[in-house]
Structure 1
Amino acid sequence: MSRRLIKVAVKALQVYAADQLGAAKTKKIKRIMRELRICAALKHPNILPVYGYTYGFGPYIAIVSPWAENGNLSDYLQLEGAALTLVRRFQILRDIISGLQYLHANSVVHGDFTGPNVLIHGDGTACVADFGLSLMYSEVISASQASWTSTLKGNMRWMAPELLVERDDGSQVRPSEQSDMCSFGGIMLQVLTNKAPYYHLTNDAAIILCIAKSQTPSRSRYPELPERYWQFIEKCWSTDPQDRPSTEEADMTIRNEYYSLSRSG
C-alpha cells in the first residue's frame, strides 16, 4: 500500500486552568471533543478542514488541519497586497463570505473571525479557520478568564462591541452570527485597503476603548476606498446587531461586485 506524505498544521488548545481539575475537567474536555468531532464533519472548499485531534503537546489537546502555504490573510496582504487587483480582492472576499455562510447554515458561530483566522492556500483560495474555537474555550475556562480568547490573542481589532458588554449577572454576551458579521466588516476593510481596522493604533487598550465606545474606524483614514464599499462595511458595523446584513446578503453583494468587476476587466 502506497503512502502519501502531506504537510499539516497542529494547533494546541491551551484550555486547562488551575480550577479545572479532576472530574470537572474531564467532563468539560469531553464536551470539547464532541465539538471537535462536529467541526471535523464540516466540509466546504472555503473552510479549513479539521482532520482530527492528537495529544503529546504537554497536557493539551491539539487540532490537526491542512497546512496553508500562503499563511494567514494579514500576512498575505502585507506581502502581496500592493500587487493585488480589485478583482482578486473580491475573489478573496467571495471565498471568505462563502465559508462563513456555510458555517452559519450549519449553526456554527465562528466567534473569533479575524484576519489571522483566514488562511490562503497555495492556489490562492481563501478559507476560514479556527471556527468555533472561542466557544470551545468558554467550555473549559470561565468567561472572565477567557474573554472569548480574542483579547488574549490580540485579535480585538475585528471584535464586535457587544462582546465587551457584561450582563447583569456578570456573564459576557456570547458570540453570534451578528457578531461574526461585524467582524466580517473589518475583514472586508482589510482586504480592500491592506489596512486592518484601527491600524494606526498599536496599544491594545486604546483599541478596546474605541470598540467599547462603538467608535468604528474613521472614514478619513481610508480615503482610497470607494463610498459604496464603505457604506456596506458600515452596515456590518451597525451598533444594533439586528441591523447587520446576513451572510446571504453579504454573499450576494460580494458576488455581484466580483462578477461585475470580472466582466468589465
Structure 2
Amino acid sequence: MGDNDGDNDTVPELSSSLGWMQRKRGNKQSGGSVIGGLTVDHSHEEGDGFNLSESGSYREGLVHISQAGTTIHGADALDQHSPSPAQGGSTSAKRANRTDLLRYTVSASNFQNMEKIGAGCSGYVRKARWKQKDSIVAIKVINVFETEKRKQMMQEVLMLCDMHCDALINFEGAFYHEGTINVVLEYMTAGSLEDVVKLSGGGIPETILAYMAEQIVEGMSFMHANKMVHRDFKPCNVLVHHNGRVKISDFGVSAVLENTLDKCTTFVGTFLYMSPERFRSDKYSYPSDLWSLGLTLMQCATGEYPYLRNSGKTYWELMEAIVQQDAPKLPENRYSAGLEGILERCLQKESEKRPTIEVLKNDDFIVSHCATTPLAARLAAISEWVGKVRSCFVSVTSPSSNSFSAPDLACNFAHFYVSFFQPHLRETLWSLYEEGAVLSVGQEMLNGRKQVMGKLLSVEASLEISPSLSDPEEWSKIAKWDSAGMVLALTVPCMVKNAKTGAEGAEIQVEFDLKADLKRICWTVTRQ
C-alpha cells in the first residue's frame, strides 16, 4: 500500500484457545447469532465496547467481522447493545441513516500470501493472490487487541464500504484470522506518490502532475460531497497504478460530518501536512484537506517536502513555520503560472480563503492540461511516466538481505505475472520488460519492449500455473539465482486456457530471466 511507517513487520501471534478466551472474558457468556453465515456476538466488554467470541467473531458498532467475512448494518441495527461513536463504536452519519445491509464473504483460505510490502508498529501490509479470482490484492493486517489501531481500521472499513469512486481505493472485504483483522484492498502496482516521487529523482513533470491532480481532486470532491474529511491526506496515502489510475487511500482517521457547516475538533493525522488552523487547535473542516493537498502537490512537483527544503526543522520549528510564517512557494522561474496559482489558492493561511474542492476541479492548472486531452490519453501518459520510474513488479525484499529467498521470489513473480496476463490486465505488464528485452515464441524471435508487448497483446489465451507447483518445495527446483549478475532464471510450467471459456489446453514451459533493479526497488524481464 505504500505507507511504511515503521520497521516492525510482525504482529504477535495471539492464542485463540478456549482457555485463553475464558481468561480474557472472565465468566461472561456470549449470546451469539448467525447472520448471513457470520457468527455475531451480541455481548460487549466494558471499556472500549469490544468483544471477541470463541469462534473468532466480534461486533463493533455497525460492523460485524468473523473468520468468514464482514457484515455492515444500517441504522436499524443500532440498539442498546451497540456502542455509540463516543464509546468507540464504528458508525457514521451516512451509514447510520441507511437501512441496507452489506455483506462481504471472504476468509483467510481465499488467499495465498505473498511478501510484506509495508510495516508499522501495530501491523503490516502484504501482497496476496486471491485464488478464486486469480488476482493480486493488498491486505492490511493489524493486531485485533491494539485498541486504537483496531478502531481506526473499523472506521476505514465503514468508510470504504460506502465509497464507490474511481479515485478512491476499492474495498474487497475484511475478515478475522488468528488474532488479526485483515482488510482486503485493491493492489496498486506502483506504490504511493511518495514512492514514485523519491524514485523519480526530481519530481513529477507538470503535465503528468496535472493529470494526477485531476483524479485526486475528483476523489476528494466525492469525499467532501459525502460530508467526509480525510484528515490525513499526504503523498504516502495516494496510491498509483501502472494503468494510470491514482487513488486516495487510508481513511482510518477520516471524519464524517452531519452537515456541511459542522467542524472537526480532534487532533489526528500526520502533523507534517496539517493546516495552520489544526495546529492552533481551532475547529476545522474541508479546507484543511485543501491545505494538505497543496503541500502534497508542491512536494510532487519539487521532489521535496516544502517546509524542510534546504534545511531540517524540529517539530516546534515546523509548527511555528506553518502557523506563523508565510505559506511556502515554489522556487522562482522554474514552474508555470498555472501550477503556482493552484498551490497559492490551496495554501492560504486562513481556511476561509481556500477554494472549495468543487471550485478546484475547474482550476486553470487542471483544465488547461486536461480539457482537450481524452481520459484514455491522460491515463496512458501517466502509465508511461510511472513505468519509467519503476516496473510493475515491485519487491521490497532486497536480494542482498538475509530474508531473500529465490524460490519465494519465483513463486511471487509467477503468480503476479499470470494474474496480470489476463487479457483485460495484460497491458499493465509493459513496464516489466526492459527496452532491450527478448521474447522467443517457438522459432519466432522478438526484440525490444515494443515488439514483445505487441506479440503478447495479440495472444487471446490466458495462463494458469501448473498444479505440479502446488508443493512449495517444487519452486526451489525451477528457480536459479545468479548473485553476481543479480538475475533469477526460472521455468514455470503453465496451462494455456481459453480466455473466454476457461477451457484448459496444452501445458507449456514459460522461461524468464528476471533482473533485480536495486535503485528502483523492482525487477525487470530481460529474456522470456
Normalization by structure 2: what TM-score? Answer: 0.39
Instruction: Output aligned runs, 1:61-210, within 5 Å.
Output: 61-80=181-200, 85-131=205-251, 133-135=252-254, 147-151=267-271, 156=272, 158-166=273-281, 173-174=283-284, 176-200=285-309, 201-205=311-315, 206-210=317-321
Q: Deviations over 1:151-196 (max 9, x none)?
A: 4xxxx1x2211111235xxxxx35x211001111112212333333
Deviation at residue 12 of structure 1 after TM alignment: 4.2
Larger RCO (alpha carbons 8 Å, 6+ apart): 1
Deviation at residue 74 of structure 1 after TM alignment: 1.3
* Identical-residue share of aligned pairs (%): 22
SS at match of 2:132: coil
Which residue of the partner structure matches residue 521 of structure 2?
none
Letter in 2 for 1:234: E
Higher helix share: 1
Letter in 2 for 1:163: R
Normalization by structure 1: what TM-score? Answer: 0.73
Uncovered stretches (5+) of structure 1, i.e. residues with no partner = 21-27, 137-142, 168-172
Between 7-16 and 72-81, report the one with greater CA deviation. 7-16
**Cα 1:6–1:203, aligned 2, differ >3 Å: closer, same or farther?**
farther
SS at match of 1:127: strand
Q: Deviations over 1:50-98 (max 9, x none)?
A: 223333475x644321111100001112223659543222111111111
Whether contact under 8 Å (2:327, 2:349) holds in the other structure is: no
Larger Rg: 2
Deviation at residue 16 of structure 1 after TM alignment: 6.5
Separation (CA, whole Å) in 2 of partners of 1:35 and 1:230:
33
Which residue of the partner structure matches residue 216 of structure 1?
327
Letter in 1 for 2:134: L
2:335 is the alignment partner of 1:225 = yes
Deviation at residue 217 of structure 1 after TM alignment: 1.7
Separation (CA, whole Å) in 2 of partners of 1:5 and 1:107:
36
Separation (CA, whole Å) in 2 of partners of 1:164 and 1:17:
27
Letter in 2 for 1:194: G
Higher strand share: 2
SS at match of 1:51: strand
Deviation at residue 227 of structure 1 after TM alignment: 3.3
**Cα 1:14–1:246, aligned 2, differ >3 Å: closer, same or farther?**
farther
2:349 to 229, 239, 247: 239
**Cα 1:15–1:218, aligned 2, differ >3 Å: closer, same or farther?**
farther
Separation (CA, whole Å) in 1 of partners of 2:203 and 2:269:
33
